[in-house]
Structure 1
Amino acid sequence: MRASLVVHDDRGISAHVVDAGMSPAERLDVYRSTFASVLTKALRLSYPAVHRLVAAEFFEGAARIFIEAHPPKSACLDDYGEKFADFLSDFEPAASLAYLPEVTRLEWAVNRVLHAPDVEPLDPRRLAALAEAERARVSFVPHPSVSFLRVDHPADLIWRAVLEEDDDALSAIDPGAGPALLLVQRLATGVEVRRMSESAWRISAALFAGWPLAAALDEAPNTEASALLADHLAAGRFIDFSLNDTSGNFP
Structure 2
Amino acid sequence: MSPTLSETQRAFGAALLDPDAPVPAGVGGPGGRPDARRFAVYRNNVMVGLIDALSARFPVCACLVGTEFFRAMARIFVAANKPRSPLLMTYGDYFPDFIEGFEPAAAVPYLADVARLEVAFSQAFHAAEAVALDAAALGPLSAERLAGLQLVVHPSVRLVRSAYPVASIWMAHQQDGAIEGPDDWCPEDVLVIRPAAEVLIHRLPQGGFAFLGRLRDGGSVIEAAAAGYHDAPDFDLGGTLLALFTLGAVVGVLDAPFVETGS
Normalising by structure 1, we get a TM-score of: 0.82
| Partner of residue 66, structure 2 | 55
Show the counterpart of 2:107.
96
Task: Give the match for residue 225 of structure 1.
Answer: 237
Aligned to 2:158: 147
CA apart distance, 1:232: 2.6
**Matches of 1:157 and 1:47, distance apart in 2:** 16
Deviation at 1:50, TM superposition (A): 0.7
* Alignment match of 1:194 (pick from 202, 213, 232): 202
CA distance 1:128–1:28, shift in 2 (3 Å)? farther
SS at match of 1:96: coil
The corresponding residue for 2:121 is: 110
Whole-angstrom CA distance in 2 between matches of 1:71 and 1:209: 30
Q: CA deviation at 1:203?
A: 1.7
Whole-Å Cα distance in 1 between the matches of residues 31 and 245 of structure 2? 61
Partner of 1:236: 248
Deviation string 1:79-129 (CA, Å, 9 cap, x unpaired) is 010111111111111111111111111111111111212234457788779
Percent of pairs with identical residues: 30
Task: Give the alignment of 1:119-138 within 5 angstroms.
Answer: 119-121=130-132, 135-138=146-149
Cα offsets for 1:7-51 (capped at 9, x unmatched):
35446x342333379952222211211111111111111100111
184-193 or 75-84, larger mean C-alpha shift? 184-193
Find the partner of 2:217 among 209, 216, 219. 209
In structure 1, runs of 5+ residues without a counterpart are none
1: distance between equivalents of 2:143 and 2:136? Answer: 14
Shift of 1:194: 1.7
- Say whether the 8 Å CA contact 1:151–1:178 is kept in structure 2: no
TM-score (norm 2): 0.79
CA–CA distance in structure 1, aligned partners of residues 38 and 130 of structure 2? 44
Q: Report the counterpart of residue 245 of structure 1 in structure 2.
A: 258
CA contact (8 A) 1:116 1:145 kept: yes
1:29 is the counterpart of 2:40? yes
Is 1:79 aligned with 2:96? Answer: no
Distance 1:20 1:213 in 2: 69
For the Cα contact (< 8 Å) 1:136–1:213, is it kept in 2?
yes
Aligned length: 243
Residues 132 and 195 in structure 2, CA contact (< 8 A), matched pair in contact too: no
Instruction: Note the aligned Cα RMSD (angstroms).
Output: 3.0
State the shift of 1:59 in Å: 0.9
The separation in 2 between residues aligned to 1:61 and 1:216, in whole angstroms, is 43
Q: Which runs of 5+ in 2 are unaligned?
A: 1-11
SS state at 2:194 partner: strand
**Paired residue secondary structure (2:219):** coil
Structure 1 position 217, deviation (Å): 1.3
Larger RCO, structure (CA 8 Å, separation 6 or more): 1
Judging changes above 3 Å, is the alpha-carbon distance between structure 1 residues 179 and 79 closer, same or farther for their aligned structure 2 residues?
same
